[in-house]
């Protein structure tokens, strides 16, 4: 039996926890480069997988060594920042027309990026904890998926609007800078324990 209260509580918690996270940044970057609906399809599918894993694993995810998880996350952020800065657009400052990128290629890129970047993330662990706390995996799963989809959609569609006012090269440099800061924070947590 679904609990609307649990769905709303989980949605709010997950939405607020994920909003300042790397997902909004990754979604924004993909949304500025590719057709938004294609990106959202891949991102949405990745979030479904993440929530399913969190619900299935329950509280087991909280047993992972925090230091190791933060170290890997920090290195992934540094790698992501390097990829953003080293990517050559050949002078193009516009979004590629949808015909240049197939649905499967763009959706697959969004799916893969989110699947890798979000594994073991705070919201995945929080989803596992909420599932254990409420003992209502379906309601928790629905609330978590809707919260994550909302953040992804904000990043993707907000990125399209942002592109009309800010050059892609500046967005890329800012995104890379934020990733470096997040990498430093994650690596500090890994070392400081």
CB 58 within 8 A of CB 132: yes
**pLDDT on residue 91:** 41
CB 57 within 8 A of CB 128: yes
Q: Which of 85, 86, 106, 104 is nearest to 95 (CA)?
A: 106
Task: For residue 87, report the phi and psi dihedrals to the nearest 5 degrees.
Answer: -70, 130
Place of tokens 């329950």: 58
Query: Residue ranges of the domains in the chain?
Result: 10-87+121-192
CB 128 within 8 A of CB 54: yes
pLDDT tier for residue 41 given thresholds of 50, 70 and 90: very high
**pLDDT on residue 173:** 76
Q: What is the pLDDT of residues 133-179, one digit of tens each?
A: 777 889 999 999 999 999 888 888 876 676 677 776 776 677 677 66
Percent of the chain past pLDDT 70, that is, above it, reads 70
Q: Name, of 23-27, 112-116, 121-125, the range with top average pLDDT.
A: 112-116
CA atoms within 13 A on the CB side of 100: 7
């Amino acid at each position: 039996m679904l609990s609307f209260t649990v769905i709303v509580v989980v949605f709010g918690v997950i939405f607020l926890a994920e909003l300042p996270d790397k997902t909004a940044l990754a979604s924004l970057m993909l949304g500025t480069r590719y057709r938004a609906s294609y990106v959202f399809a891949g991102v949405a599918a990745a979030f479904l997988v993440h929530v399913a894993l969190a619900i299935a694993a329950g509280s087991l995810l909280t047993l992972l060594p925090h230091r190791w998880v933060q170290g890997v996350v920090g290195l992934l952020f540094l790698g992501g920042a390097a990829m953003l800065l080293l990517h050559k657009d050949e002078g193009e400052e516009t979004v590629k027309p949808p015909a240049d990128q197939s649905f499967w290629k763009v959706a697959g890129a969004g799916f893969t990026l989110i699947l890798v970047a979000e594994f073991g993330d705070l919201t995945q662990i929080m989803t596992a904890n909420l599932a254990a706390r409420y003992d209502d995996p379906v309601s928790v799963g629905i609330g978590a998926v809707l919260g994550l989809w909302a953040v992804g959609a904000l990043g993707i569609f907000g990125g399209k609007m942002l592109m009309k006012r800010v050059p892609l090269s500046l967005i890329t440099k800012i995104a890379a800078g934020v990733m470096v800061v997040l990498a430093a924070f994650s690596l500090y947590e890994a070392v400081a324990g």
